[in-house]
Structure 1
């Protein structure tokens, strides 16, 4: 018997994998009926800005504005597909910790739908995979979706 998930979190980074995850999350949220709630998340890793010599607040604002536009588009996609309860959020910090622990706990999510990593083997070795970390440490179910 399939488990019905009601509070679904889908982290988005603009990759084909995350877009495939969003499509699956939309399906699962619709399956939950009126109780279904979809939260779309983007984490801006501020540590990436620390290595930029000309780092200032305007750079973070520009990235945040672009991210907000993308998330509004993803929200509209979900609404157009028939999801009534959909929201998005932008968080700042470590994607691993925020996606794997903090945001699901805050939202009381019961499922994370995440795209499979787009990193190659060397990149995974050096910086690690957010998806791998989330699947290993999350206290709730995680569905990993691959792009076709």
Structure 2
């Protein structure tokens, strides 16, 4: 018996780890013929420390939101260029830990979440744990934590 994923969610935040997770999610979506959902959760309280020019750039809410929209559009274009046929983007607001594992995954009937082992917010990871750890504990579907670069054969 062969199991096939039908809806794959990948969390992206612009970090190198998220880029690796994205590449792996694109390959999996093609292999499984699955819908690919690209998700970025915009956390307004973090706009003072993470912005388009780097981790210490002071950005305003509209600038950070526009950056997130542009990033998702770029990921979608790249996924389609790589052969993913059914790509959707989701920009939501709130805590990435809660939104990805519960709200977005359930709303879209996701059966696999792909995420990088770490992301951009090192301070939060140190203080209260990583987003990927939380997703692994609380998601009701399979979770793939990507730690290595995807090899294309």
TM-score by length of 2: 0.82
Structure 1 residues 12-91: aligned runs within 5 Å? 12-33=12-33, 36-49=34-47, 59-91=60-92
Q: How many residues align?
A: 140
Q: Structure 2 unaligned runs (5+)?
A: 50-58
Distance 1:69 1:118, change over 3 A: closer
* Cα 1:71/1:47, change in 2 over 3 Å: same
3-state SS in 2 of match to 1:43: strand
Question: For structure 1, which runs of at least 5 residues remain unmatched after alignment?
Answer: 52-57
Give RMSD over aligned pairs: 2.4
What CA deviation, in whole Å up to 9, does each residue of 1:42-94 have, x standing for no partner? Answer: 0111233599xxxxxx9221111111111111001110011110011111101
Match of residue 112 from structure 1 = 113
Range with greater deviation from structure 2 (72-81 or 117-126): 117-126
Is the Cα–Cα contact under 8 Å of residues 117 and 130 in structure 1 kept in the other structure? yes
SS of the residue corresponding to residue 87 of structure 1 reads strand
Residue 47 of structure 2 contacts residue 64 of structure 2 at CA under 8 Å; is this kept in 1?
Answer: no
Contact persistence 1:119–1:129 (CA under 8 A): no
d(CA) in 1 for partners of 2:112, 2:119: 21
- Taking structure 1 as the reference length, the TM-score comes to 0.85
- Measure the CA separation in 1 of the matches of 2:24 and 2:9: 11
Q: 1:75 to 1:144 in 2, by over 3 A?
A: same
